[in-house]
Amino acid sequence: MNTPTLHASPLNPRSFQELMRFAEIAAGSGMVPREYAGKAAAIVIACQMGAELGLAPMQSLQNIAVINGRPSVWGDTLLALVRSSPVCDDVVEHIEGDGDALTAVCVATRKGKKPVEARFSYADARTAGLLNKTGPWKTYPRRMLQMRARGFALRDAFPDVLRGLITAEEAQDIPVDDATPTQPISHKERTPSLSEAGKKRVEDGANALIERVMGVSTRGELEAITSEDAVKKQRVFLRQRMPELADRVDQVVSETLDGIERHAQNERQDEPPAATMEEMPA
């Protein structure tokens, strides 16, 4: 009787096509955070960002969040990334004082370097206007002070490990207006809409790509097409300007790959078993 193992190796896509296939499955699975549901392209970017930090694909989707237009990770993940780094010596946190003097302290030490200390107090939060809105600052002030001090200390001590990431708790406090331009965008700076003739050319190009994809018979032929620089640029353009058409192209690529794999599997099943010595004629 086979005993199931408790641990399995995480999924690790080995090519862009495998990553796209994973993203398409995950986007429609209902098992990813809401901001990734139905968004295969966002899943691809999140997985790539996570890979640069040492996260497996599913870890990336569960721990990387885009809040107010900025990628971030939850505070516990930020700490885990730092502690798993070989350059980390220690991270110590504590909370002291009470009232407006309530202060979270985080001391991060890099191997061979002096400790970096960050402090964030209840008075600091009041000055920053963080206590004026409902949410975690009202219900869990000690936790939020801890996350803010942690974010400051870890970014200062380990900028190469975190690559500019902030905590999701901090990102939630960034006003949405901060991400918008302070000056109106001029007409020339706006992305021009496609004319009817332009749309027709884009649709013709997409249909031509679909025909090429549907005409392949092997995985290698499909990967050769999708790895072409011109095709990559074409698909990015479609995603930005005509997302419905981009979804159609992605669907055809996915269905074609599925068909190739099913055909290969059927061929393997249809192969006659190798003749044994007893079955061979004398």
Tell me if 72 sits within 8 A of 35, measured CB to CB.
no
Identify the pLDDT of residue 119: 95
Of the candidates 118, 123, 102, which has an alpha carbon nearest to the alpha carbon of residue 156? 118
Identify whether the C-beta of residue 125 lies closer than 8 Å to the C-beta of residue 131: yes
Task: Provide the 10 A C-beta neighbour count for residue 94.
Answer: 11
Question: Tokens at residue 120, please?
Answer: 């964030």
68: alpha, beta or left, given left = phi > 0 and alpha = psi -120 to 50? left
Give pTM, 2 decimals.
0.55
What single letter denotes the amino acid at residue 85?
A: S
∠ CA 190-191-193, rounded to 5°: 120
Is the dihedral angle over the CA atoms 132, 136, 139, 143 positive or is it negative?
negative
- H runs (alpha helix) in the chain: 16-27, 40-53, 57-63, 75-83, 122-127, 136-139, 141-157, 159-162, 168-171, 196-214, 219-226, 229-241, 243-270
- Cα separation, 64 vs 53, in Å, equals 11
Strands 70-73, 166-167: parallel, antiparallel or unpaired by DSSP? parallel
Question: Mean pLDDT in runs of 10 for the chain (282 residues)?
Answer: 48 78 87 85 86 84 80 88 94 92 95 94 90 84 93 92 84 64 47 74 87 86 85 83 82 80 74 54 51
Identify the residue whose tokens are 């018979």. Answer: 217
Residue with tokens 């408790």: 6
88 beta partners: 110
Which two structure tokens, joined as six digits, stand for 68? 């107010």
**DSSP-assigned beta bridge partners for residue 90:** 109
Spatial CB neighbours of 212, under 8 Å, sequence gap ≥ 6: 225
Residue 116: predicted pLDDT? 95
Q: Report pLDDT for 72.
A: 85
Does residue 210 contact residue 235 with C-beta atoms inside 8 Å? no
